[in-house]
Amino acid sequence: MTATPAGTAVDMFRMDGRACIVTGASSGLGARFAEVLHAAGAIVVLAARRRERLDDLASRLDRAVAVECDVASEADRARLVATAERECGRVDVLVNNAGVSQMVRMERESLEQWEETFAVNVTAVHRLALLAGAGMLERGSGVVVNVASMYGFVARWDIPGAASYAATKAAVVNLTRELGAQWARRGVRVNGLAPGYFPSEMTGDGLDDSRFRDRLDRRCPAGRPGRPHELDGALLFLASDASSYMVGQTIVVDGGWTAV
Ligand SMILES: NC(=O)c1ccc[n+]([C@@H]2O[C@H](COP(=O)([O-])OP(=O)(O)OC[C@H]3O[C@@H](n4cnc5c(N)ncnc54)[C@H](OP(=O)(O)O)[C@@H]3O)[C@@H](O)[C@H]2O)c1
């Protein structure tokens, strides 16, 4: 078995010509992930409900397709994958990033809120993996990156919120193991990324609130939330050939939150 020369290690992170779907690309982490993959050479398919946000991002990238899509709808999910396959010829990478978190205390979460969270955070992740995965399995190559959360590993008791968020993110962590293990020998790799607190629409109100921010800084070993660029390396590692022997794992990038 020959190894590639060590001097070419950086090249393994290149994404030239790879077609990557990024869901939830209209804001926050998803918009950043799309820009990072594009900067590494990828063609990016931007998906979310807010079309004008996608068009705005697409207008700044020379290899981008915007697809309005509600990931909770099976028809929209199928249309997203079909559009990506038609426009790009195939889907090389699926980044399942779209997610919701109900801003309500656990005892007040309604059944509708619980079900919406599962529809977006779990069902959509699974169904999109199957839809995009079909072509990947046929070709014997492809990558799925599922965006979980550090709250897929620990409870959110110290900064309370709806229980559905942590429940769905734990489901994503084990769904990632299951898909990864079942597809590894067929050339399709599935891994996950579990961020701690990063600035986005989801976390904006909290991070702007001085009491919340103070609790976060005291609780987090790094003493601060993540900065927007501090997931770039992990995302690119997971999406590219650099992680070719990694299967079913979820990388936690949380300033040490789950380490203590
Ligand atoms: N920021 C953090 O600290 C943090 C930490 C851990 C994990 N995460 C995870 O990272 C991912 C991105 O979150 P974010 O922090 O970047 O939050 P955000 O700024 O609120 O972004 C969420 C994205 O998901 C999309 N989305 C929500 N529901 C959707 C639906 N039904 N169909 C299609 N798209 C939908 C939104 O787009 P539209 O509204 O335009 O549809 C938006 O682009 C989520 O999975 C989240 O759980 C974030």
20 - beta bridge partners? 44, 93
For the CA of 71, the closest atom of ligand 1 is 32
Taking the domains of the chain in order of start, what are their residue ranges?
Answer: 16-254
Q: Which of 21, 27, 35, 169 to mutate to test the pocket of ligand 1 (most atoms within 8 A of CB)?
A: 27
The structure's pTM equals: 0.98
pLDDT in tens, 71-126: 999 999 999 999 999 999 999 999 999 999 999 999 999 999 999 999 999 999 99
Q: Measured in angstroms, how far is the CA atom of residue 231 from the centroid of ligand 1?
A: 15
Q: Measured in angstroms, how far is the CA atom of residue 161 from the centroid of ligand 1?
A: 16
219: Cβ contacts below 8 Å, ≥ 6 apart: 158, 159, 257
d(CA 127, CA 129): 5
For the CA of 120, the closest atom of ligand 1 is 31
Task: Give catalytic residue positions.
Answer: 165
Q: What is the pLDDT of residue 175?
A: 99
Residue 42 in this model has a pLDDT that exceeds 80 = yes
DSSP element (H, E) containing 205: helix 201-208
Q: Measured in angstroms, how far is the CA atom of residue 203 from the centroid of ligand 1?
A: 10
Look at residues 145, 16, 19 and name the one whose alpha carbon lies nearest to residue 82.
Answer: 19
Per CATH, the architecture of 16-254 is what? 3-Layer(aba) Sandwich (3.40)
Phi, psi dihedrals of residue 97, rounded to the nearest 5°: -110, -25
Going through the chain in order, the beta strands assigned E by DSSP cover 19-23, 43-48, 64-68, 93-96, 142-147, 188-195, 250-253
